Amino acid sequence: MKIVHISAECYPVAKVGGLADVVGALPKYQNMLGETSSVIMPFYDITFTKKNEFESIYEGNIVLDEESHPFKILKPVDFLLGFDLFLIDIPELLFKDYIYSFDDSNRFLAFQIAALDWILTLKEKPDTIHCHDHHTGLIPFMLQESFKYEALNKIPVVTTIHNAQYQGCFSHDKVNLIPKFDFTNVGLLDWNGTINPLASAIKCAWKVTTVSPSYMEELKSAANGLESLLSNEHEKCVGILNGIDTNVWNTETDTFITKQYSIASSIAGKKANKKELCDTFNLNIKKPLFAFIGRLVDEKGSDLFPEAFDIALKNNDISILLLGSGDHETENELEALKTKHKGNYNAYIGYDEKLSHNIYAGTDFLLMPSRVEPCGLNQMYSLRYGTIPIVRSIGGLKDTIVDITDNGFGFTHQHASVKDICIAIERATAFYKDDVNFKKTRKHIMNIDHSWDNSAKKYIELYKSLNN
């Protein structure tokens, strides 16, 4: 079966968060299962595209607002990802030194049109088109409604919602940018008076998936305004838990980390990684180390950290390390804490892939007090690296982490609150002192299988059910 994923991000080319990890791994695993799975994504002016060579395999023109824009389909010349990668280069619109900015509607609309224009020219058409998030949310509508894509309208299209908080809305004033369709169906684009790409995808895709079963349930009552739509469409919706790429996230081969380790050598391995991390960030290796990695946004509960960290550091003999960027006020407050808790707390405000691997490998506990967490990959990386996760029981966190008191291997809490975070840190600190069980749990979690094997199969079964 020929599957084409269309996405704004794909690791290692362009990554902001988990979307990139998923799109950089799922196609690889689908190919290992004998399918032919590829990725179409934008060509941005970023480090990866600057460092690698690409060749043009197709040249075309898209028309947007009566203006014609040339585009190319580029293929990497010499790096192998485990799937074919096609990058759409629209120099006048897409080729920027960032992935997202404030108003991306024209850029991503142009990307989606160019992707379909190119697919239209392919001799061998895909058997399934798999779209990811709102950046590709208008594809199901265009396939079904735009006259120029009539030849593609029998191709099943699946949309995965990675995060319903972001919907990509724009004004109906721009409706003419969408390739011509029967205007009596304009309602398929609309939600509450605006063009809403995510809502349109939910209406028009043949199947809608999201990235964990619990999040699918939660969306019925909390979907940033799309609750009733998702309830109406529930028959075509399914939650499939994300996996992780166990080749990239492998403590035995990870070239980012200071000391590679296996389950058997995990005690010494984690110690060496923790030492390096503590030396770098001026922390005491003897104290239990708690870390956070992620976007500093309300969804992740990061606004709670300045107060929670301050209290937890006063009440416990621990260290805390944070890696992330986002909300400027939170960034400033987290920076300010450095002076107050010098030697016990540190933060790197920014994005650093290598450092993230070193933190998963070197820290003892990982904090994820998310308000919303459709799946969350950090907790699964953390398990694989022998780091005990402390999570709010929500979405994918609820589906993957079982509390230690329920015969599990992590710490869970009910609320995204300063109080719950502090209580969880206290419980974990006490557990750290129980050296035998702490080390036993570490080894146990490294054994839990969250690779894409299972979920990649589930997606294939889903595509097959649409191709019958």
- Residues in contact with ligand ADP by CB under 6 A are 17-19, 21, 293-295, 323-325, 351-353, 356, 375-378
Crossing angle of helices 435-446 and 418-433, rounded to 10°: 110
Smallest separation (angstroms) from ligand ADP to the CB of 26: 13
* Shortest separation between residue 204's beta carbon and ligand ADP, angstroms: 25
* Residue nearer to ligand ADP on the CB measure, 179 or 294: 294
Residue 390 interacting partner from ligand ADP, ligand GLC, none (CB closer than 5 to 8 Å by kind): none
**Minimal distance in Å, beta carbon 452 to ligand GLC?**
12
DSSP 3-state of 166: coil
* Degrees, nearest 5: CA angle 35-36-40: 135
Amino acid code (one letter) for 440? K
For the stretch 65-69, contacts whose Cβ atoms lie closer than 8 Å and that sit 24 or more positions apart, written own/partner, are 65/176, 65/177, 69/93, 69/110
Which residues are near ligand GLC by CB under 6 A? 17-19, 22, 162-163, 211, 242, 373-377, 396
Helix/strand/coil for 370: coil
In whole angstroms, what is the distance from residue 44 CA to residue 97 CA?
Answer: 6
Please give the residue whose beta carbon sits closest to ligand ADP in the complex. 18
Least distance to ligand GLC, CB of residue 380, Å: 9
Residue among 269 and 374 whose Cβ is closer to ligand GLC: 374
Burial of 360 (C-beta count, 10 Å sphere; 0-12/13-18/19+): buried
Cα pseudo-dihedral 219, 415, 332, 389, rounded to 10? -90
Contact of residue 201 among ligand ADP, ligand GLC, none (CB under 5-8 Å per partner type): none
Selection from ligand GLC, ligand ADP, none that 30 binds (CB < 5 to 8 A by kind) is: none
244 or 308, CB closer to ligand GLC? Answer: 244
Compare residues 248 and 404 and give the one whose CB is closer to ligand ADP: 248
Q: Which residue is nearest to ligand GLC (CB)?
A: 18
For residue 250, the minimal CB distance to ligand ADP (Å) is 14
Which residue's structure tokens are 């689908």?
30
User: What residue 324 binds from ligand ADP, ligand GLC, none (CB within 5 to 8 A, per partner kind)?
Assistant: ligand ADP
Closest CA to 41 of 10, 70, 78: 10
CB of 90 to ligand GLC, least distance (A): 25
Give min distance, CB of 286 to ligand ADP, in A: 26
Q: Which among ligand GLC, ligand ADP, none contacts residue 325 (Cβ within 5 to 8 A by kind)?
A: ligand ADP
The entry of ligand ADP, ligand GLC, none that residue 211 binds, CB within 5 to 8 Å by partner kind: ligand GLC
Sequence-distant (6+) residues with CB within 8 A of 30 are: 3, 37, 83, 456, 459, 460
For 142, residues 6+ apart whose C-beta sits below 8 A from its C-beta are 112, 113, 116, 149, 178, 179, 181
The CB-of-166 to ligand GLC minimum distance in angstroms stands at 9
Question: Least distance (Å) from ligand GLC to the CB of residue 363?
Answer: 19
> Strand pairing partners for 84?
38
Q: For ligand ADP, give the closer residue by CB, 36 or 451.
A: 451
Place of tokens 């808790």: 341
Taking the least distance from each CB to ligand ADP, the nearer of 140 and 324 is 324
User: How far apart are CB 46 and ligand ADP at their closest, in Å?
Assistant: 15
Taking the complex as a whole, how short is the minimal distance between the CB of residue 7 and ligand GLC, in angstroms?
Answer: 11
Residues contacting residue 290 through CB under 8 Å, at least 6 positions apart: 312, 318, 319, 320, 321, 363, 364, 365, 366, 367, 390, 425, 428
Distances in Å between the Cα of 126 and the Cα atoms of 41, 118, 433 are: 16, 12, 55
Q: Between 209 and 316, whose beta carbon lies closer to ligand ADP?
A: 209
Q: d(Cα 189, Cα 336) in Å, to the nearest integer?
A: 45
Residues 6+ positions from 12 with CB-CB distance below 8 Å: 24, 48, 81
Complex with ligand GLC: residue 273 or 400, whichever CB lies closer: 400
State which residue, 271 or 295, has the beta carbon closest to ligand ADP: 295
- The residues, ordered by sequence, that sit 6+ positions from 228 with a Cβ below 8 Å of its Cβ are none
User: Binds 408, which of ligand GLC, ligand ADP, none (CB < 5 to 8 A, cut-off by type)?
Assistant: none
333 binds, among ligand GLC, ligand ADP, none (CB under 5 to 8 A by kind): none
Is the bond preceding 12 in cis, omega lying within 30 degrees of 0?
yes
Our CB check for ligand GLC shows the closer of 247 and 280 to be: 247
Choice between 203 and 300, CB closer to ligand ADP: 300
DSSP symbols for 124-136: S--SEEEEESGGG
Q: Answer whether 58's CB lies under 8 Å from 121's CB.
A: yes
Whether 382 and 290 have beta carbons less than 8 Å apart is answered as no
